[in-house]
Amino acid sequence: MTGFALGVEQEQWCGQLRALAADRLRPLADKGEPGRVNRPLLAALGELGLLERVFTSGALELCLLRESLAYGCTEAETALALQGLGAHPVLRSGTPQQRERWLPQVRAGRAVAAFALSEPGAGSDAAALALEAVRDGGGTADGGGGWRLSGEKCWISNAPEADFYTVFARTGEGPAAKGVTAFLVPADRPGLSGEPLDMLSPHPIGRLSFDGVPVGPQDLLGEPGRGFRVAMDTLNLFRPSVGAFAVGMARAALDATLAYTGARRAFGGVLGDLQAVGHRVAEMATRTEAARLLVYAAAGAYDAGSADVPRRSAMAKLLATETAQYVVDHAVQLHGAVALQRGHLLEHLYREVRAPRIYEGASEVQRTIIAKELYR
């Protein structure tokens, strides 16, 4: 990328991804059950080499990947992103044995990963999590001392169908974030159970219960008491690409609106001839482009190792998700009742676009991060 323009090869790749999402992935998504993990879709993402790109790409390439897939198939984008979110801590902080056991399966779309941070009382305030890891004097399967996990996680994407979870628990080395440890917990561990939640958005989300789930030193992701850093390292990478997901939805809604208002006849002409409609579409396009550029700038800063990544990532996620909500809402309004029919693209986007303003740090959290970084 030079300045704020994508190169020719990048634009061509994005176009190929949009076509792939519409032609190859959308049919598989349509066959899936809302609220359930779509394993055939994941397998296709693996076969096409797209899951591999999640783990080998820089932040900008990840943004282009997520934006392009979101334009043509939000379910494919979300399935891909959740694999990255759940397995990125294994890539960055896992042991060689953990990486060898799980990452090839995740890349192939054969193992489903999940990122288990949020709790009923610790959503936006992630440092307040209460899932307890108590030292287990009885030892673990490898003969070393371990912990027992007790508590609950909630609003966990891919739960309860994931094959393993990146779990953050309180081990008590210090107060708040300083006493959190990250663990890799396979789904078949005794004492671990879950149930799906019926949510507005169609991707799988559930609740997990930990009833003395045993974990040992071999399950650590990083060092005890350093788990919050593992979580933030993951979120700083994925926050700009959440913005890219939002931009992809906004662009899809904008293009649908241009096509509709440019052809729909009303009041003696087409809707696009009405100044009120044209001005609204112009605002939608301007906000979308501004959000897109901010996402790319944040991703570029991450790839360059800039010190201001937390601020830029927060700005990108904030602006892009709020913009996508605005654009999709106005697209529905300009389409009228047709956009409210179940199965319409905009009806689908209207349900999809709301959640990104909350997950991986709500908009209010992003504003808090930005303010703290500005006053630092």
The CATH number of residue 213's host domain is: 2.40.110.10
Co-location of 308 and 202 in the same domain: no
Co-location of 131 and 186 in the same domain: yes
Q: Which residues pair with 215 in a beta bridge?
A: 147
Query: Pick from 81, 108, 135: which residue ends a domain?
Result: 108
The first and second tokens of residue 167, run together, are 């779990």
HSE toward the beta carbon, residue 266, CA cutoff 13 A: 13
Q: Which residues pair with 372 in a beta bridge?
A: none
Q: Are 210 and 224 in contact (CB under 8 A)?
A: no
Q: Per the domain annotation, does 1 fall within a domain?
A: no
Q: Per the domain annotation, does 3 fall within a domain?
A: no
Which residues are CB-neighbours of 15 under 8 A, at least 6 positions away?
68
Give CA–CA dist 193/153, Å, rounded: 11
DSSP strand pairing (113-116 vs 164-170) = parallel
Give CA–CA dist 222/287, Å, rounded: 40
Considering the candidates 77, 289, 360, 373, report the single residue annotated as catalytic. Answer: 360
Q: Is the peptide bond preceding residue 186 cis, with omega within 30 degrees of 0? A: no
| 360 belongs to the catalytic site | yes
Count of domains in the chain? 3
| Residuewise pLDDT in 10s, the chain (376 residues) | 445 678 899 999 999 999 999 999 999 999 999 999 999 999 999 999 999 999 999 999 999 999 999 999 999 999 999 999 999 999 999 999 999 999 999 999 999 999 999 999 877 776 788 899 999 864 444 445 799 999 999 999 999 999 999 999 999 877 777 889 999 999 999 999 999 999 988 889 999 999 999 999 999 999 999 999 999 888 888 888 999 999 999 999 999 999 999 999 988 889 999 999 999 999 999 999 999 999 999 999 999 999 999 999 999 999 999 999 999 999 999 999 999 999 999 999 999 999 999 988 899 999 999 999 999 8
The whole-number pLDDT of residue 136 equals 84
Query: Pick from 182, 209, 224: which residue ends a domain?
Result: 224
Give the start-end residues of each E strand in the chain: 113-116, 132-136, 146-157, 164-170, 180-186, 192-196, 205-215, 265-266, 269-270
Q: Are 172 and 97 in contact (CB under 8 A)?
A: no
Q: Are 74 and 349 in contact (CB under 8 A)?
A: yes
Task: Look up residue 260 and give its amino acid.
Answer: Y
Range of the domain at 306: 229-375
Co-location of 195 and 218 in the same domain: yes
Looking up residue 306, the CATH number of its domain turns out to be 1.20.140.10
List the alpha helices (DSSP H) in 21-73.
26-31, 39-47, 50-56, 59-72
The whole-number pLDDT of residue 334 equals 97
Does the CA dihedral 284-199-242-239 come out positive or negative?
positive
The whole-number pLDDT of residue 63 equals 96
The whole-number pLDDT of residue 257 equals 98
